Chain A
Amino acid sequence: MSVAVPIPVIQLLQVLTIAIGAPFVTGVIAKVEARLQGRRGPRVLQPYYDLAKLFRKEALIPLEASWFFLAAPVIAVAAYLTIPLLIPVLTSYGLPPGYMGDILGGGFLLALASFVIATAALETASPYAQLGSSRAKTFSAIAEPVVLFVVFTVALLTGTDLPYALAATIRSSAGEIVRPGHLLAAAALFMVILHETGRIPVETHTGTNEFGMIEEARGFEHSGPYFALLKWGSELKQLILFTILANVFLAPWLLASTQQLGAIVLAIVAVLVKATAVGCVVAVIDNSFAKLRLFKITEFVAGAFLLAVLGVFTLYLGGG
C-alpha cells in the first residue's frame, strides 16, 4: 500500500483512535480482570453498549445546579480530545499542532478537565460528590510534583520537554532505554497513572464503596448523556495516559514514520495493543494488591515522588 495519507487526516485519525479505542481498552481490562478472578466477565464491547444506553437516557439536574453543571462534562471531554493532538499516538514525527504544547501543556489540559468535573460536583450539594471532588483535589495536589519531576527528567534527557523528542531519544539507542533516570521516571509516571485512573492501590474503580471513593464519586449526580460523557471522559483519560506511557516512555516503536496508509494502520493497531498490554498489567496489579487506607495514599504518591526525584538526581548530580 503506497497511498499517502494527508497530514490533517492523520491528525484526525490520532484523535479518532483515542476517542473510539478508549471504551475498547476499558472493556479488555474489565474482561482480563474478570478472567483473573475466575469470572466470565462482561463482553469486551460492553463499554460501548453502556455509553449508547446512557446517551439515550434522559438527564436529570439537581435543583441547585447552574449551567456549569451541564457544561463541565462537555468541557472535560473537549480537553481530553485535544490532548491526542499533542502526543505521539500514531506518528513518530510531530504533526503540525504537535509542537503547540509540551508535556506540561498536556498536563494542564488533564488538570483543567479534572477541575471542571470537581467544580460541577461541588455545584450539586450532594455530600458524596463533594467528598469525591475534595479528595480528588487533595490527592492530585500531592501527585502534581511527581509529574513535574518526571517532566524535569525528560528535560534533562532530551534538552526539551516535547513528548515527540523523548520518544525519538529512546528510539535512538539501547543505552537510552536502560538509563536509570529514564526508568525511574517511567516507573514514577506509572504510579501516577495508577493514581490518576483510580486503580488499586489507590481506589477501587468498581462497586460502590462510598467512603473509599475519590474520582468515581464525582459523577454521582450526573445522569443520561452527561454521565455518558463523564464515563467516556474517564476512559479517554485512561487511554491517553496509557498512550503517553507506552508511546513516549516505554515502547515508542511501531509508530508510523511516513504518511503511508499501511504504516498508519499498523500504528493504530500497535497503539491499541500496547495500551491493552499496559491495561493487563494494571489488571494484574488490581488483583494482587489491597486498596490502601485513605491516609496511606500519600505514602504511595510519596513513593512515586521518591522515584522521580532520584531520577532527576542521577541525571543532574550523578551524571548518568
Chain B
Amino acid sequence: MVLAGPASAPGVYEGAANVIAAVMLLLEFGMLRQALARDQVRLYAAQSAMISVLAIVIAADRNLPDLYVLAGLSAALKVVGVPLVLRRLLGGAVGDEEAPGVAGSHTITPATAALAGIVLAAYGFFCFGSLGIHGPAAPATAWAIAGAMVLVAFGLMIVRRDVASQAIGFFSLENAIALAALVVAAGLPLILETVILFDGLVAVVVFGMLIRAHHSRAESLSTADLTRLRG
C-alpha cells in the first residue's frame, strides 16, 4: 500500500458509525485487560449498548424502521438479559464475592496480551479491509473493525483460563458478528436479524450450563483444573 496523500473524510454518518465501532473494539480490549469477571460483564453490557446505539444511528440515517425494533430487542437481551444471567451464574455460588478462579487466570501477562491483541487487530484490519466490501450501509472502517474485534475476542478466549472469560469472549464475538452484519446487511429482514439474535440466546444457555456444571464439579471457574482429567 502506498501512502498517497490524505484520504478525504467519509462523512458524518460514516464517521459516527466508525467511532461507535472503534469504541466497541476498545471495550473488547478492556475485557482482555480486566482481571475480574464482574468488570468484564459490565464492559460486555457497555459493548452491547454500543451496538444498539449503532443500530439506531443506521436506522435514522438509512431510514430503516426495522432496525429500531432490533435495537430495542438487542438492548433488552444483551444489555439487560445476558449480563443479569451471567452475574447470577458467576456470583450465585459464592454470594457477592468475586467468582473463584477468574482473577489471575491470565496465561500471559496483561501487557503481552494487549500487544498480542494489537497484532491480532492489525491482522483483522488488514484481512477485512482488503476484502473491499461496500454495502449500502457499510462504512469500510466499521467493517474492518468488526474483523479486528472477532480476532481479539478469539484472543480473549485463548489467553484466559477461566470459563467466565471464555463465555464473555464468545458473547462479544457474537457482538462483533452482529456489528459486521449490521454494517454490511443493514436491510436484512427483521425476522432473520431476530433469528441471529436468538442464536446468541442459545449460546447463553449452553454456556450457562457449562459454567454451572464446571463450577459444581471443580468449585472454581478456572479451566486449569480440567487438565487433571486427561489421566
Contact = CB atoms under 8 A, between A and B. Distances in A.
Interface stretch (A9-17, A99-107, A129-137, A301-309): A301-309
A127 to B, nearest CB: 29
Given A169-B6, A302-B114, A319 B12 contact: no
A310 B121 contact: yes
A144 interface: no
Contacts of A314: 18, 22, 125, 141, 144-145
B202 interface: no
B9 A176 contact: yes
Query: What range describes how many residues of B lie at the interface?
Result: 35 or more
B140 interface: yes
A184 interface: yes
B89 interface: no
Nearest to A165: B6
A176 B6 CA distance: 11
A318 B125 contact: yes
Interface string A172-200: 01111111100110000000000000000
Interface string B37-77: 00000000000000000000000000000000000000000
A292 B14 CA distance: 37
Contacts of B125: 313-314, 317-318
A259 interface: no
A262 B18 CA distance: 39
A260 to B, nearest CB: 30
Contacts, number: 94
A317 B122 contact: yes
B144 A317 contact: yes
B144 A319 contact: yes
A159 interface: yes
A179 B141 CA distance: 10
A103 to B, nearest CB: 15
Given A180-B141, A318-B145, A319-B144, A299 B22 contact: no
A72 B173 CA distance: 54
B15 interface: yes
Contacts of B122: 313, 317
B34 to A, nearest CB: 12
B16 interface: yes
Contact of A310 (B1, B26, B129, B140): B26
A223 interface: no
B136 interface: no
A320 B29 contact: no
Most chain A beta-carbon contacts within 10 A, residue among B15, B19, B121, B144:
B15
B137 to A, nearest CB: 15
B10 A175 contact: yes
A320 B5 contact: no
Interface residues of A, number: 30
Contact of A175 (B5, B15, B121, B129): B15
B144 A175 contact: no
Nearest to B110: A299
B192 interface: no
Interface string B18-32: 110110011001000
Contacts of B195: none
A314 B144 CA distance: 8
Given A180-B21, A317-B125, A319-B144, A306 B6 contact: no
Contacts of A177: 15
A283 interface: no
A306 B9 contact: no
B101 interface: no
A294 interface: no
B7 interface: yes
Contacts of A309: 118
A75 interface: no
Nearest to A313: B125
Interface of B: 1, 3, 5-7, 9-12, 14-16, 18-19, 21-22, 25-26, 29, 33, 110-111, 114, 118, 121-122, 125-126, 129, 139-142, 144-145, 148
Given A306-B26, A319-B7, 14 more contacts: A175-B11, A175-B14, A176-B9, A177-B15, A179-B9, A179-B15, A180-B22, A314-B22, A314-B145, A317-B129, A319-B129, A320-B15, A320-B140, A320-B142
Interface of A: 156-159, 169, 173-180, 183-184, 298-299, 302, 306-307, 309-310, 313-320
